[in-house]
Amino acid sequence: MKLKTYVARNPQEALAQVRQDLGSEAFILSTQSRFLDGPGSEAGRQRRVEVTAVLGPEFPSSPGLPSWTVDSKAEVPAYFFEHFREELEELKAFFRQWLQESGPPYWLTRYPDLRTIYQLLLRAGIRGPLLHHWLEEIRTLVKDSPDAGPNLRKQALERLLKSLELVDPWRISAPGPIRWSFLGPSGVGKSTTLAKVAVRAAFMKKKRVGLICLNHGHLPASNSLAVFARVAGLPLKTVEHRQELLKALKNWEDLEVILVDTPGFNPREAKLSVQLWQLLGDIPELSHHLVLSSTTRESSLEDTIMAFRVLPLASAVVTKVDETRNFGNVVSQLYKHHLPLSFLTLGPRVPEDLKLANRTNLLGILLHSRNSHLEAKG
């Protein structure tokens, strides 16, 4: 077996080195983009492509992966293919990034302000259908208004923001009591988000609020929600099954706001759609809000949205916005799947760091100038 790593300026050059050295039968194990020191002290750090390839009868063994030959008739464990599926996704993402960073469309080079915005959006993670839609919008803009002048930058940003669907859950809820559930994988901040919404509803909007913790066969959630409810003086019920949930909703008919915390579900669970529908489906009074972490990899964001779409989602709540520089990843996925955005969370403070998404704070986040653009209302 022959295992080698190649460093080049771009993917084509790296793959050409692999073919020349190992031949067309070589297997690409990994591809990474990183900054490396250039030759000489004046060169500085430069972006390079690092490709690791192998040639030989066996794949390299590593912890958690089997060593087997191409001609082996042994059954290959499923996790082996899962590992290479993830590698392939990373490789595809890298090539998309490289193609986008290679430069803007030719027609855009005539407009320096628009070219600058394009590069800023790429760095923020905007890509896919949203980026293509925005490019078509501004191409129409410059065609219809060739003399837009100083307003061109402003109009281009407005076209981007108008492409995003924003909702205010307090206003879109049906007349009568508010009944919201917060869904999502583990670790995205559902309970913390629920606490922030509860404080805003109870102490700022002066509503009568109740909390429900739905476990449904999972290990009991941490005591944080129970502690919060006790400190805030809000009633809390813990339920295990759908019938107990329906009973709790019925018994609290007099409350103006009921917030339901749910367990962390694995988006890749094969039977998740059935579980979600059996547990929460067809409850007309309950409005579902999907909680997504902005620190999550884009492919996992898409998996999550697709998995939870079995329920009618009223909006997405995006958390941990203060912990990422790729906020565009989640925005791109929301646009792709036509999912409205309602709340943003930008830190641990309750409820100060809960913000209602609007065009002003979204622009500030995407262009990395959050503090000067965030509004306190929500």
Over residues 90-139, the pLDDT tens digits come to 666 665 555 555 567 778 888 888 888 888 888 888 888 998 899 999 88
pLDDT at 70 over 50: no
Cα 304 to Cα 301: distance, rounded to the nearest angstrom:
5
On whether both 221 and 119 belong to a single domain, the answer is no
Query: In terms of residue numbers, what domain contains 242?
Result: 169-373
Cβ contact 342:168 at 8 Å: yes
What's the confidence (pLDDT) of residue 63? 47
Domain stops at, among 146, 162, 178: 162
On whether both 58 and 91 belong to a single domain, the answer is yes
**pLDDT band at 72, cuts 50/70/90?**
very low
Q: What angle do CA 313, 316, 319 make, to 5 degrees?
A: 150
Mean per-residue pLDDT of the chain: 80
Does 78 fall in a domain?
yes
State the CATH number of the domain containing residue 336.
3.40.50.300
Of residues 261, 138, 274, 284, the one with CA closest to residue 211:
261
Phi and psi torsions of 140, nearest 5°: -65, -40
Average pLDDT over residues 38-42: 48
pLDDT tens by residue, 233-256: 999 999 999 999 999 999 999 999
Q: Which residues pair with 315 in a beta bridge?
A: 289
Cβ contact 52:4 at 8 Å: yes
Average pLDDT over residues 20-49: 66
pLDDT tens by residue, 286-300: 999 999 999 998 889
pLDDT at 308 over 60: yes
Structure tokens at 79: 């996790």
What's the confidence (pLDDT) of residue 181? 95
On whether both 185 and 281 belong to a single domain, the answer is yes
Q: Based on the structure, what is the number of domains in the chain?
A: 3
Average pLDDT over residues 181-196: 92
Average pLDDT over residues 138-149: 76
What's the confidence (pLDDT) of residue 213? 93
What's the confidence (pLDDT) of residue 36? 65
On whether both 6 and 77 belong to a single domain, the answer is yes
On whether both 237 and 154 belong to a single domain, the answer is no
On whether both 127 and 256 belong to a single domain, the answer is no
Window from 221-235, 255-269, 335-349 with minimum mean pLDDT: 221-235
What's the confidence (pLDDT) of residue 119? 85
pTM value is 0.70
Does 346 fall in a domain?
yes
What's the confidence (pLDDT) of residue 20? 84
The residue ranges of DSSP E strands in 38-191, in sequence order, are 45-55, 178-183
Window from 50-59, 65-74, 186-195, 217-226 with minimum mean pLDDT: 65-74
pLDDT at 260 over 90: yes
Of residues 283, 285, 237, the one with CA closest to residue 261:
237
pLDDT at 212 over 60: yes
Window from 166-180, 193-207, 237-251, 330-344 with minimum mean pLDDT: 166-180
pLDDT at 40 over 80: no
Cβ contact 161:133 at 8 Å: no
Does 378 fall in a domain?
no
Does 148 fall in a domain?
yes
Domain stops at, among 118, 138, 162: 162
Average pLDDT over residues 39-44: 48
pLDDT tens by residue, 53-62: 776 554 444 4
**pLDDT band at 342, cuts 50/70/90?**
very high
On whether both 123 and 208 belong to a single domain, the answer is no
